[in-house]
Amino acid sequence: MKFIISSEYFLKKLQVIEGAVPTGNTKPILSNFLLQLHNNELKITAASEDNTIIAVLEVEGEGTATVAVPASLLLKTIKTFPSQPLTFLLENKTNLQITASQGKYDMPCFDGDEYPPEPAVEDAITTTINPLVFNKAINSTFFATATPELSQLMSGVYMEYNTDRFRCSATDSHKLVRYERTDVTSSQNISFVIPKKTINLLKGILYKDEEELTIVYNQKNAKFIFNGITLISRLIVGEYPNFDNVIPTQNPNVLTVDRKLFLNSVKRIAIFSNETNHSMKLAITGQQLLISAEDFDYSKSGSESMPCSYEGDDMEIGFNSRFLSEMLSNLESDHVSIEMSLPNRPGILFPIDSNEHESIVMLVMPIVLG
């Protein structure tokens, strides 16, 4: 086996798939990249127990072979080279030689037949979506997922895709985010829960919209195909709760503020909040918002006031400052509104100037003020 490839091109592909290489105790073979050469096509695979990423590269190659190469060693080596052609030569199944302008380098390799086969996605439904729309949907929701210890099912993002809309939802029972597009539809009804690890891998792949993202899905696995990269993920199995009824619709008190100013104030006042519950108080009087927090244990407190637009009765309500900061940071609009009814009822946060076909709703549970 022999192939020649640009160091820059090779490194770029390796960095895309390296996230699938497990870091904890696992099968030793999974700490390797699988290289499969078939003449001028090189397939590189990185896999864990739950995710497999495959990149297909064009190379100047000779012969066919399958070999496993230590992922960390290969990456560290390729990163050191300036842009240049690299020649890879496999004379036997225990040694891979790299030739560059600076010299020659030998690294161990292993029988590729020990590597787990690519997971099959059988009896599947296939659909496509704009990758930037999909990327924005998962970026807007994944931060609201629960930890696996709290709920395995809610530790992922729930995706729904049908003839009427495309929707992603996530919740940890303290906060909930729902992203929806009415201008993106599918001829078939699709719904599944994507694990958080898979979402982080997808975020590194979906960076342009020159071609569609293809999704191949069954009840256990999903295959995401984009720009010569294939990501196969084991899905979270279970019936995701219907949270539409949890979002209150009668919210007569509506606060509207500049998002960036509000976010900066929340971040500053959060420094003075209780380090256990991160409690922050919003007090709205007329067209003035007072943001405050205090921590009696450490004798610290802080408050800021800012102008706002407000319709409703004067009120005070407490929220987790971290949750507010996360929500505001994951929106792009210039202004946001928070709809409220009572101090013990959820606040509903949404952007003011979003796309007419786009809807983002964020629910945050209140904190009882002492």
Q: Please report the domains of the chain, with CATH numbers, ordered by start residue.
A: 2-114 (3.10.150.10), 125-244 (3.10.150.10), 247-364 (3.10.150.10)
Spell out the alpha helix ranges (H) of 43-148: 71-79, 131-141
Residue where the block lists tokens 């619709």: 249
Predicted TM-score of the model (pTM): 0.90
CB 88 within 8 A of CB 74: no
Contacts of 13 (CB under 8 A, 6+ apart): 44, 55, 57
CA distance 38 to 123: 28
CA distance 90 to 366: 62
Distance between start and end Cα atoms, the chain: 71
pLDDT of residue 173: 92
pLDDT of residue 281: 97
* DSSP classification of residue 114: G
Tally helices (H) and strands (E) across the chain.
6, 27
- The CA distances from residue 87 to 38, 45, 181, in Å, are 16, 19, 47
CA distance 38 to 54: 15
Sign of CA dihedral 330, 332, 334, 337: negative
71-79 vs 7-17: helix axis angle to the nearest 10?
140
Residue where the block lists tokens 């609009």: 333
- The CA distances from residue 44 to 37, 41, 119, 203, in Å, are 9, 10, 15, 19
Blockwise average pLDDT, block size 10, the chain, 370 residues: 96 94 87 97 96 96 95 97 96 90 95 92 91 92 93 94 93 95 89 94 81 92 94 94 88 97 98 95 97 94 97 96 96 95 96 87 92
pLDDT of residue 353: 79
Question: Between vectors from CA 221 to CA 52 and to CA 171, what angle results, nearest 5°?
Answer: 100
Structural Rg of the chain based on CA atoms: 25
CA distance 236 to 221: 9
pLDDT of residue 204: 82
**Three-state DSSP class for residue 106:** strand
3-state secondary structure 334-363: CEEEEEECCCCCCEEEEECCCCCCEEEEEE
pLDDT of residue 262: 98
What region does 299 belong to: left with phi over 0, alpha with psi -120 to 50, or beta?
A: left
Spell out the alpha helix ranges (H) of the chain: 7-17, 71-79, 131-141, 196-203, 259-270, 321-329
CB 4 within 8 A of CB 87: yes
* Per-residue tokens: 251: 């919210």
* Per-residue tokens: 329: 């940071």
pLDDT of residue 134: 93
CA distance 291 to 131: 38
pLDDT of residue 317: 97
CA neighbours within 13 Å on the CB side: how many for 220? Answer: 6
**Three-state DSSP class for residue 215:** strand
